[in-house]
Structure 1
């Protein structure tokens, strides 16, 4: 720890370094990590040495990447997380009923992370591994964004240059906020080619007992398998699944918060 630096500040900087490595798939050089973390090279080197000693970072010649020590941590989360445990059997039923891929996402800062996923009879053409981060301003991410405060939505919009979907459709910040209000009123979202061309998804929020949004259930499939009649069926299935996961999710008492009324 550098002179006059608090232990908490050192911890924050270590997390900043881990975040840089997590957000970059390829190994990074010391100078690149320091630049992206906004730290001095000497400080970054000290942090990397400590993390390497703990197995959280691995070094190969002149580059660094996350170490194998992060894998047991992720595994422990998936095994111990009550929401993903509650969701898995529901997602299995959902994938079987619709024949499509069913997933559960949770919000992590200004992104969303898939924590459970079950392939249906008609799997997607691309693989989406557990733990993958995706944006909040597209697809099912907009459902999670609809549960954020106005201040959080403004912060999200500041990080996005242009809200453009893969279909080519663009949303202004005002239109984006209007879409969030529509999701709150409808209780679900049907998205066409927002994150991937030719893919239609239906998503609905999962609420805790206190009314806090804790995740989003999404069913995704190729347009060929998502006729208007099929979409209406999937909307019902997804909303039922989201409600079932919320009921199964026996969480510990939560802090008192304003009750969310999306879809209620």
Structure 2
């Protein structure tokens, strides 16, 4: 009987882990959507049975992590607790805040910090510059890795990871409608690695420009990026090398404080 009990424990643990993974899959489906989703659509996107999805949603709704109305399910207010805990306890954010303040003050541009998450980057912090941007980029917004500051992170992928990233990339279009060319992109990533910063003009938002540098952790991995953004008139081509050096210094200061 004792042996049977021991065998049952790993099986129970495996089942619990699978349930946890499924719940996270459901939350990620809702997180990726900008509108409420029906039960059947959530199940389809998560690759789960409808009955299983309904049970998971019931638990998450009871805990405030999911909300439901006539239009379907969406992320719940309870998720703010976890986000707040991260924003107030992250060593990376604690290290970055004063650096972003100094960067925005010194350059007059909006300074931002991004963290890589899978094939995306997430806005963690922003400090406005002298001229407010004409668009809002909320904390927690998910952005691509092949545009803007994302290139500073993509440039530090190893060849195998970069191939995998490009293979899954389904949107190769820039803000002006032009298509991202693979060879040109790879050549640009090589240049970014060599000079230590990236620059973009009108890639994600027409009329806007940015310069970014990777924040490298103690293991030599580029896990985050720091960026300044402004109108193209505020970042003329001749100013980019100066800003690139400024961004590299800021990235190094963040890394030293955080890691």
TM-score w.r.t. the length of structure 2 is 0.90
Aligned pair partner of 2:247 in 238, 241, 255: 238
Q: Give the secondary-structure state (helix, strand or coil) at the position aligned to 2:189.
A: helix
2:48 is aligned with 1:39: yes
Query: Could you tell which deviates more after superposition, 29-38 or 168-177?
Result: 168-177
Give runs of aligned pairs for residues 53-132 of structure 1, distance below 5 A.
53-61=62-70, 63-132=72-141
Q: Corresponding residue for 2:5? A: none
Partner of residue 25, structure 1: 34
Provide, for residues 120-171 of structure 1, a one-character-per-residue CA deviation record: whole Å limited to 9, x for no partner: 1012110101110000111111111112222222222122235222234433
Query: C-alpha displacement at 1:13, in angstroms?
Result: 1.1
Is 1:30–1:62's contact at 8 Å kept on the other side of the alignment? no
Residues 154-189 of structure 1 show CA distances to partners (whole Å, capped at 9, x for unaligned) of 222122235222234433333322222221111101
Offset at 1:64?
Answer: 0.8
- Structure with more helix by fraction: 2
Deviation at 1:111, TM superposition (A): 0.3
**1:133 maps onto 2:142 in alignment:** yes
Q: What TM-score, normalized to structure 1?
A: 0.88
Q: How many residues align?
A: 248
Q: Judge conservation of contact 2:133–2:230 (CA < 8 Å) in 1.
A: yes
SS at match of 1:148: coil
User: Take 2:247 and 2:75, find their aligned partners in 1: how far apart are those partners?
Assistant: 35
CA-based RMSD:
1.8
Question: Which 10-residue stretch deviates more, 109-118 or 52-61?
Answer: 52-61
Q: Select the residue among 186, 190, 196 that pairs with 2:195.
A: 186
Q: Quick check: which has more Rg, 1 or 2?
A: 2
Measure, in 2, the Cα distance between the counterparts of 1:177 and 1:40.
Answer: 40
Query: Aligned equivalents of 2:133 and 2:219: distance in 1?
Result: 34
Taking the aligned partners of 2:252 and 2:241, their CA distance within structure 1 comes to 17
Unaligned runs of 5+ in 1: 252-264
- 1:132 & 1:21 partners in 2: Cα distance? 14
Aligned-pair CA distance for 1:12: 1.2
